[in-house]
A and B are shown apart, each in its own frame.
Chain A
Amino acid sequence: MRNTLSRVAWLALGMACLPALSPAFAPAFAGEITVYSALEEDEIAAYLERAAADMPDVTVNLLRLSTGDLGARIIAEAGNPQADVIWGFAVTNMLNPAIYDQLAAYKAAGEDALGEQFRDKEGRWFAPTGYVGAFCVNTERLAQIGAPVPTSWADLKNPAYKGEVVMPDPGSSGTGYLQIAAILQGAGEEAGWQLIKDIDPNMAQYTTSGSRPCRMAQAGEFAIGASLSYVAMQGIEEGYPIQMVIPADYAGFELEANGLMAAAKNPDDAKRFLDWTLGAGAAEAYAARKDLVTIPGVPRSPQAEKAGLPEDLTAVLFPMNFAASGETRDAIITKWREAVGR
């Protein structure tokens, strides 16, 4: 039985090695900032490469999570915030008091050039970029069921799409909420709710995540997935047989906001980074890949062009009222659940 005992000894030895662990959150060094972001993985890599060239003395430690997960994390960390900067985070979530109250007012260089709806009145956030609500349409599947490519939300009422449409649940996905909010703000309360109810019979699923409808459409599981422009463009890049459609009637959009954390450990470099997100270098990087850029004079990206995004997006976009849509959020979600009964 000695062997079993020595096994226990081995285990004990293993435990003795534990203290070798070092916590990863080292104190903030000059020249190092911690940035939380919900931007896409590939664009972050491209932007950070550019940022490193423009600001070689600043090291950016970046945590990337999806909008919902990141929001939960920021709120949970409120007692002892870890980030210096929030970068590229849905403005609807930024306006949540539990996050908004953690931000400090800072007017980044170049912020004045942005339109008024793209920056906070109190100066706590500004949004140089954004994304648009879009349909991912699987052309192969559509051909199989012999139905036309839809061009608007109203088109989705067509019974030919029965069981072939997927959209996110506004209760669990910000994307789902922005779509419903765009319909309600655009069509007005009554007509909006009617449209939502009219589309409902064709809806196969209301998904938890905002990008999943497009993923399902690209895998050919369903013909149409209501999602976001960048998700659709990713799918087209990968080579899936999908087409991106910006609904002609109510194209909701979301802004990607940046802000300075009041508890930033390295506010000087954090401010430099925020300035950079509005500067010429960043604008150049946005132009290479972004579908919605609010900095005046930045041209449409090649992907956006390939995906068929209109040249002047602001003409198609419905003027969303983010503050209002944040306030009425709970009421809308409750009413939506009653309306669709799912």
Chain B
Amino acid sequence: MSAGEKRVSRGLDTPFEERLFQRVLLLVPLAGLALFFLYPLSIVVWRSFQQGDGTTGLGNYREILGLDHLWRVVSNSLVMSGLTAVICVGLGLVIAYALSRTRIPLRWLVTLALILPLLAPSLVQALGLIFMFGRNGLLTSLLGVQVQIYGLPGLVIANSLYALPQAVMILAVALRHADRRQYDAALVLGASPWRRFVDITLPGLRFGLLSAGFVCFTVTITDFGNAAVIGGNYRVLASEIYAQVVGQMNFNMGAVVGILLLIPTLLAFYLEKVAGLRGGSSEGAIPVEPDRWAPRDIPLWILTHLTALFVIAIVAVVIFASFVQLWPYRMSLTLKNYNITTQGGYDPLWTSLYASLITAVFGTAMLFALVLAQRKMPGWSARLVYLLAIVPVGVPGLVLGLSYVLSFNVRPVFPGILYGSALLIAFCNFYHYHSQGFLTMVTGIRNVPQPLEETVTTIGGGLWANLRDAVIPIMVPTLISVFFFLFMRGMVTLSAVIFLITPKLSVGAVSVMRLDQAGSSTQAAAFAVLIMITVLAAMGLMRLLLIWQSRRSRARAAG
């Protein structure tokens, strides 16, 4: 804790305005978390103690824990999420390493494979897997081999597709900053490449690896969509919530399972301890340049590209199916699936775009502020903020959505006015993905070398100068990846949102669900493809704006 104390004592002699600024940085995001996360969550906790006979107590917990099949469901969930986390962290490390430390060819292919699962509605992955490996799938018919896709294998593959990009996002940020001189020194001392990896790279990555593992484990244990489509008879806890809430209309029991699902987030205590250890960045770290070394590169590249091809193939088959007359019986091509006739037509797409931009702008700003404030705080309070910031990942979308209805559909103007607005949908999507964004930000800010900040401060720069000259330049890539992450998830997230749409306000992800429910999976696929194109176009436009903006200011600085 000595580092923390040093920082605090320094904080005391900063001028008043700066301390005020620090307070604002902390209080605004905390107020957001309190209103849009803690308040709804407290209602879920309260419901979990409401018993069938109207009294309050632990009865629901006793009943759930007494169910015969519960323990099988719990162990199923642990096995499934554990496997997924191991696969995603392993593959994620390979891919992130290949991208940031080697001169991998066809880099764009890998980048594309990493964003596809984030910008495709979850239906796409499930449909893609079934179209490929299902009992009547393409590969199954071609090769004549039956793969048992329904159940644990399919569920792990589908969930890995979903979680892998999130693992890579965190690991890539963690890998971005290391000090080349450490590697040079090791090289001089005659350390083998493997030793350098084990002794320099891995220790620097420890926090990133743990965060990635935590995120993959938690997002998949709370995800219901894949379990419903491809899980077969492999029941997991998230399906249990669905059965209680949607199947049997028993909110209180669903709330209990929702609370049980928060248990894995307790791992966060440990994660926070590791976070306290400062990363490997030293004064004026020199970025590690990608290099070539065939014995390492070739296996890494093969694994990376195979994974990328697999992901792209799964999405591509759905894109193909969206142009097919009647999959898999009449394979002639048509555009008829793109003639969307459901309620609202294409309007929900624009609402999605609007709400997702708010999610991304608001979310990135809030997370950046929170991270800036949190790292200057003394030990225990920093820990508290940290925990609060990563609990949202443990809350299933279904639970979050219903808790939003219970919290915001109230008569008082505030917060009642939010109910039924696109703003609430935007906030809900942000807090749903709060933890992933926060962990990426924390990983990123650990790379801001403290000596650099100290230098800026000693030469008379205040907090502003410090932010401008030391923190933001290093954080820009992290801010951009968090922004795009939130934007993409906002465009496609379904689970919580179905409880927040109104007769006059719907979003694209809901249209995909509706089309699928109305019996046309190819039309649903077509709408999903349109969402993907919209997201890609919007992202391209924003990138262009960023480039244009930075060129212009560079030109101005030069002039």
State the A residues within 8 Å of B (CB). Answer: 1-8, 10-12, 14-15, 18, 21-25, 34-35, 40-42, 44-45, 61-66, 68-69, 71-73, 75-77, 79-80, 82, 93, 96, 98-99, 140-141, 169, 171-174, 177, 204-209, 211-212, 215, 219-222, 231, 234-235, 237-241, 329-330, 333, 337-338, 342
Contacts and interface: CB of A to CB of B under 8 A. Distances in A.
21 contacts: A1-B468, A1-B469, A3-B550, A4-B476, A14-B357, A21-B422, A22-B421, A41-B514, A45-B341, A45-B343, A64-B514, A69-B246, A77-B405, A82-B420, A172-B248, A174-B247, A204-B232, A215-B521, A235-B519, A240-B329, A241-B329
Contacts of A99: 249
Contacts of A76: 251, 402, 405-406, 409, 499
Contact of B246 (A6, A71, A98): A71
Nearest to B410: A80
Given A6-B553, A76-B406, A219 B248 contact: no
A72 B517 contact: no
Contacts of B328: 219-220
Contacts of A222: 135
A63 B249 contact: no
Given A205-B150, A238-B519, A329-B248, A8 B416 contact: no
A302 to B, nearest CB: 18
Contact of A79 (B242, B402, B409, B517): B409
B144 interface: no
B419 to A, nearest CB: 7
A141 B514 CA distance: 27
Contacts of A10: 549
Return the 7 tightest CB-CB contacts between A and B, nearest first.
Answer: A172-B247, A68-B246, A25-B420, A3-B553, A220-B136, A61-B503, A234-B519
Nearest to A3: B553
Nearest to B480: A7
Interface in B337-361: 341-343, 357-358, 361
Contacts of A220: 135-136, 328-329
Given A63-B501, A69-B246, A240-B326, A4 B473 contact: yes
A126 to B, nearest CB: 21
A221 B246 CA distance: 26
A82 B357 contact: no
A273 B229 CA distance: 37
Nearest to B521: A215
B549 A6 contact: yes
Interface in B18-51: none
A7 B499 contact: no
A219 B132 CA distance: 12
B301 to A, nearest CB: 33
Contacts of B546: 7
B344 to A, nearest CB: 11
Contacts of A72: 245-246, 249, 251, 402, 499
A98 B235 CA distance: 27
A239 B326 contact: yes
Contact of A24 (B247, B411, B504): B504
Contact of B361 (A11, A22, A80, A237): A11
Given A41-B517, A45-B343, A171-B247, A18 B553 contact: no
A168 to B, nearest CB: 9
Contacts of A171: 243, 247-248
B340 to A, nearest CB: 11
B517 A211 contact: yes
Contact of A221 (B134, B419, B518, B550): B134
Contact of B330 (A18, A96, A239): A239
A42 B520 CA distance: 12
A62 B343 contact: yes
Most A Cβ at <10 Å: residue of B327, B423, B503: B503
B476 A206 contact: no
Contacts of B423: 18, 21
A205 B518 CA distance: 22
A5 B556 CA distance: 14
Contacts of B229: 212
Given A11-B361, A14-B357, A34 B136 contact: no
A23 to B, nearest CB: 4
Interface string B228-263: 110011010001001101111101000000000000
B532 interface: no
Contacts of B503: 34-35, 61-63
Nearest to B420: A25
Interface string B48-72: 0000000000000000000011000
Contacts of B419: 23, 25
Given A68-B246, A72-B402, 10 more contacts: A3-B553, A21-B421, A21-B422, A23-B418, A24-B421, A76-B402, A82-B420, A99-B249, A221-B134, A337-B68
